[in-house]
């Protein structure tokens, strides 16, 4: 890979924007490999509800996740019964980036878990607070609503940014507060940050109306593909209803439906609205990343994004050629001066 070209491309944006399609199209053009930055696609068996790209059938037994011939990293790497968090992602993503670069390929990070991507770029990490099994067991007896109220009392700032339906994250936040007094800001480790000058960040941001139409169509498609049956299968395989609900969005609402706590109609209506709200939160976090100083190019569709990336690469090549010519001309001038002096 040319040293003057971007060493890392990151594709972000709201759910249903078309990020995966863009990442695959770009990887095909640039000898790239994709690193998923999705907090649910890491889990095996959670396929339809997380929107994983289809796995190439002929490659299923090779230990790699390929889609349309492109290697995808950090998909299907964890058991849904286990916790995989931002610290795991930052560690694994750095290893994947280094591995891809060693093989002369372009790493392309693609995903909507913007918190993870921000942590990777900034080198920020949460402070290490050891799990407290006794406290966790006590907190687990409370409902998510009760835990959220407790978190609001103890740390209103963290309560304002957390998914109030995610029991595992609520318990973890309260656990940290009990040790440190509050959930602190991410700690910066300067030596572990990704250099922004080597990184090109593309935000795929369709028009709001188009995005809402895509969300509705995608939800309908996933239901038809067997998303409800997927959640039912996961529960049969030993994933508790509580754990399924903690994954949020599709898994939470379908789990409630399968437990007969809500009707099918209510599930579909509330789920579509919740996905819209999630997309809005992704927009908000994206703006926060920009306010922190990250240069992000906004594209409304795949073609605009590809055109911008191609233009960026052409500019890099022109700059390299221009610099090479300047060096060559300086060398010639020095030689001529030496010849004239003689």
If asked whether residues 54 and 137 sit together in one domain, one would say no
pLDDT at 181: 78
Is 277 within the bounds of a domain?
no
Whole-number Å distance between alpha carbons of 144 and 146:
5
Same domain (yes/no): 41, 94 = yes
Q: Are residues 63 and 197 in the same domain?
A: yes
pLDDT at position 209: 96
The DSSP-derived string for 280-317 is: HHHHHHHHHHHHTT--EEEESSHHHHHHHHHHHHHHHH
Answer whether residue 258 is part of any domain.
Answer: no
Continuous segment of H or E residues that includes residue 70: strand 70-73
- Does a structural domain hold residue 19? yes
In this predicted structure, what is the pLDDT of residue 190? 46
Residue 40, in any domain of the structure:
yes
Is 120 inside a domain boundary?
yes
Whether residues 67 and 196 fall in one domain: yes
pLDDT of residue 164: 82
Question: Do 106 and 150 fall into the same domain?
Answer: no
Domain limits at 56? Answer: 8-124+191-206+283-314
Please check whether residues 25 and 143 belong to one and the same domain: no
Pairing mode of beta strands 187-188, 32-36: unpaired
- Same domain for 36 and 113, yes or no, is yes
Residue 110 lies in a domain: yes
- pLDDT at res. 225: 97
Q: What CATH number does the domain containing 54 carry?
A: 3.40.50.300
Q: Are 6 and 312 in contact (CB under 8 A)?
A: yes
Please indicate, yes or no, if residue 214 is contained in any of the structural domains: no
- At 191 the pLDDT is 46
Q: Which regions in the chain score pLDDT beneath 70?
A: 1-5, 59-62, 124-128, 182-197, 312-342
Give the C-alpha separation, 25 to 23, whole Å: 6
162 shares its domain with 91:
no
Bridge partners, 10 (sequence order): 109, 201
Written as six digits, the tokens of 275 are: 């996905």
The residue out of 135, 151, 185 marking a domain boundary is: 185
Residue with tokens 């010849």: 339
Structure tokens at 157: 């700032």
Give the per-residue pLDDT at 166.
80
Q: Which of 197, 204, 259, 199 is nearest to 228 (CA)?
A: 259
Residues 178 and 303 grouped into a single domain: no
For the purposes of burial, counting CB atoms within 10 Å of the CB of 102, is it exposed (0-12), middle (13-18) or buried (19 or more)?
exposed
d(CA 277, CA 176): 27
The Cα–Cα gap between 89 and 100 comes to 16
Output the pLDDT for position 314.
55
Domain identity same for 114 and 167: no
Instruction: Answer yes or no: do 197 and 174 share one domain.
Output: no
Tally of domains within the chain? 2
Residue 296 pLDDT: 94
| Residue 318 to residue 322: CA distance in whole angstroms | 6
70 in the same domain as 201: yes
Would you say residue 273 lies in a domain?
no
């Amino acid at each position: 890979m040319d040293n003057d070209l971007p060493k890392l491309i990151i594709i972000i944006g709201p759910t249903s924007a078309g990020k995966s399609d863009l990442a695959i199209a770009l990887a095909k053009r640039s000898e790239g490999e994709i690193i998923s930055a999705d907090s649910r696609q890491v889990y095996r068996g959670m396929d339809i509800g997380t929107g994983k790209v289809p796995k190439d059938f002929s490659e299923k037994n090779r230990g790699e996740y390929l889609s349309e011939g492109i290697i995808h990293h950090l998909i299907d790497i964890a058991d849904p019964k286990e916790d995989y968090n931002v610290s795991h992602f930052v560690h694994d993503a750095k290893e994947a980036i280094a591995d891809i670069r060693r093989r002369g390929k372009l790493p392309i990070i693609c995903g909507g878990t913007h918190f993870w991507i921000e942590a990777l770029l900034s080198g920020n990490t949460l402070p290490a607070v050891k799990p407290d099994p006794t406290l966790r067991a006590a907190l687990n007896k409370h409902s998510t609503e009760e835990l959220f109220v407790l978190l609001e009392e103890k740390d209103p700032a963290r309560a304002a940014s957390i998914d109030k339906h995610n029991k595992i994250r609520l318990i973890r936040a309260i656990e940290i507060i009990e040790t440190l007094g509050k959930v602190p800001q991410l700690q910066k480790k300067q030596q572990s940050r990704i250099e922004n000058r080597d990184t090109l960040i593309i935000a795929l941001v369709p028009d709001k109306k188009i995005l809402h139409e895509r969300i509705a169509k995608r939800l309908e498609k996933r239901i038809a593909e067997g998303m409800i049956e997927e959640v039912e299968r996961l529960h049969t395989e030993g994933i508790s209803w509580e754990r399924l609900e903690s994954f949020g969005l599709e898994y939470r609402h379908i789990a409630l439906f399968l437990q007969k706590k809500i009707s099918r109609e209510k599930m579909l209506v509330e789920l579509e609205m919740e996905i819209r709200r999630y997309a809005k939160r992704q927009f908000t976090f994206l703006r926060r990343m920009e306010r922190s100083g990250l240069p992000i190019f906004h594209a409304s569709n795949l073609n605009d994004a590809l055109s911008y990336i191609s233009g960026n690469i052409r500019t890099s090549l022109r700059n390299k050629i221009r610099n090479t010519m300047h060096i060559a001309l300086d060398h010639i001038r020095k030689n001529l001066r030496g010849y004239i002096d003689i």
